[in-house]
């Protein structure tokens, strides 16, 4: 079971990203919604819990863009709820990206 909620608690802080700052962006892997972002400089991988992920999980969750911004693909509250009510959705082809 991949911990999709990795680091999500940091989103509740009132962190405002400066325009020139590298960010960590949280996106929902299912619906693509932007859940939030935090300045990369403010947290470490340890704080986010990323260091406990296996190489495979990291590949699944973490991606980088050309500017070095990090994206973490997680599951938003809405999709989490949908999936807990309809677990068979996970079996649909193309549902998981």
User: Which residue of 5, 9, 31, 90 would you call a contact of Zn ion, by CB under 5 A?
Assistant: 31
Judged by beta carbon, residue 54 or residue 97, the one nearer Zn ion is 97
38 binds Zn ion (CB under 5 A): no
What mask of x and - would describe binding to Zn ion in positions 73 to 92, judged by CB under 5 A? ---x--x-------------
| Total interface residues for Zn ion by CB under 5 A | 6
72 binds Zn ion (CB under 5 A): no
State the Cα–Cα distance between residues 43 and 6, nearest whole angstrom.
Answer: 13
State the Cα–Cα distance between residues 9 and 56, nearest whole angstrom.
Answer: 23
State the Cα–Cα distance between residues 70 and 2, nearest whole angstrom.
Answer: 18
User: Could you tell me the end-to-end alpha-carbon distance of the chain, in angstroms, rounded to an integer?
Assistant: 16
> In which element (H, E) is residue 17 found?
none
User: Which residue of 28, 50, 61, 72 would you call a contact of Zn ion, by CB under 5 A?
Assistant: 28
State the Cα–Cα distance between residues 91 and 79, nearest whole angstrom.
Answer: 14
96 binds Zn ion (CB under 5 A): no
**Under the rule (CB under 5 A), what is the footprint of Zn ion?**
28, 30-31, 33, 76, 79
């Amino acid at each position: 079971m991949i911990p999709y909620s990795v680091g999500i608690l940091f989103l509740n802080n009132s962190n405002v990203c400066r325009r020139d700052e590298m960010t960590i962006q949280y996106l929902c892997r299912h619906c693509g919604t932007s859940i939030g972002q935090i300045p990369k400089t403010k947290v470490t991988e340890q704080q986010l819990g990323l260091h406990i992920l296996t190489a495979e999980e990291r590949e699944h969750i973490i991606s980088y863009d050309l500017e070095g911004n990090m994206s973490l693909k997680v599951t938003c509250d809405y999709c989490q709820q949908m999936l807990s009510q309809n677990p068979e959705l996970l079996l649909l082809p193309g549902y998981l990206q």
